[in-house]
Structure 1
Amino acid sequence: MASGNFPEDLVREILLMLPVKSLLRYESVCMSWYTLITKPSFISAHFNYNAALKKSHCILVKRSLPEHVPPTESVLSFLSDEISGDDHVPPTEIIIPHYNHFLQMVGPCNGIVCLTDHLVIILCNPSIRDFKVLPAPSFNYPQGLFSRTLGVGFGFDPHSCEYKVIRIAELYEDDENWGYGFHSVNVEIYDLSTDSWREIDTIVPYVWYLPCSELLFNGAFHWWAKDEDHGGESILSFHISTEVFQQIRLPDICAAPDGNERAFLILNESIALVLFDPSEQTCFDIWLMTEYCIAKSW
Structure 2
Amino acid sequence: NLHYDVKPLNIPFSRDDHNPVQIQGYCNGIVCLIEGDNVLLCNPSTREFRLLPNSCLLVPHPQGKFELETTFHGMGFGYDCKAKEYKVVQIIENCEYSDDEQTYQHCIAYPYTAEVYTTAANFWKEIKIDISSSIHPYPFSVYSKGFCYWFATDGKECILSFDLGDEIFHKIQLPSKIESDFQFCGLFLYNESITSYCCH
Bigger Cα Rg: 1
Q: Distance in 1 between matches of 2:194 and 2:25?
A: 15
Indicate which of 126, 132, 135 corresponds to 1:199: 126
Give the equivalent residue in structure 2 for 1:253.
177
Q: 2:27 is matched by which residue type in structure 1?
A: C
Q: Distance in 1 between matches of 2:24 and 2:79?
A: 13
Q: Distance in 2 between matches of 1:241 and 1:152?
A: 16
Q: List per-residue Cα deviations over 1:192-219 (Å, max 9, x = no partner).
A: 222211111221233223xxx5210121
Give the equivalent residue in structure 2 for 1:95.
10
Give the equivalent residue in structure 1 for 2:142.
215
Contact 1:115/1:121 (8 A) holds in 2: yes
Contact 1:150/1:208 (8 A) holds in 2: no
Q: Distance in 2 between matches of 1:119 and 1:257?
A: 38
Do residues 273 (structure 1) and 196 (structure 2) align?
Answer: yes
Q: For structure 1, which runs of at least 5 residues remain unmatched after alignment? A: 1-80, 84-88, 278-298
Higher relative contact order (CA 8 A, sep 6+): 2
Do residues 150 (structure 1) and 73 (structure 2) align?
Answer: yes
Indicate which of 109, 134, 158 corresponds to 1:234: 158
Contact 2:57/2:92 (8 A) holds in 1: no
Task: Give percent identity, aligned residues only.
Answer: 31
Give the TM-score normalised by the residue count of structure 1.
Answer: 0.53
Q: Distance in 1 between matches of 2:198 and 2:137?
A: 19
Q: For structure 2, which runs of at least 5 residues remain unmatched after alignment? A: 60-66
Indicate which of 117, 120, 126 corresponds to 1:190: 117
Residue 112 of structure 1 deviates from its aligned partner by: 0.7
Matches within 5 A, 1:108-119: 108-117=26-35, 119=37
Task: Indicate the structure with greater helix content.
Answer: 1
How many residue pairs end up in the alignment? Answer: 183
Give the TM-score normalised by the residue count of structure 2.
Answer: 0.75
Going from structure 1 to structure 2, the CA distance change for 1:226 and 1:118 (only over 3 Å counts) comes to: farther
Q: Distance in 1 between matches of 2:86 and 2:100?
A: 42
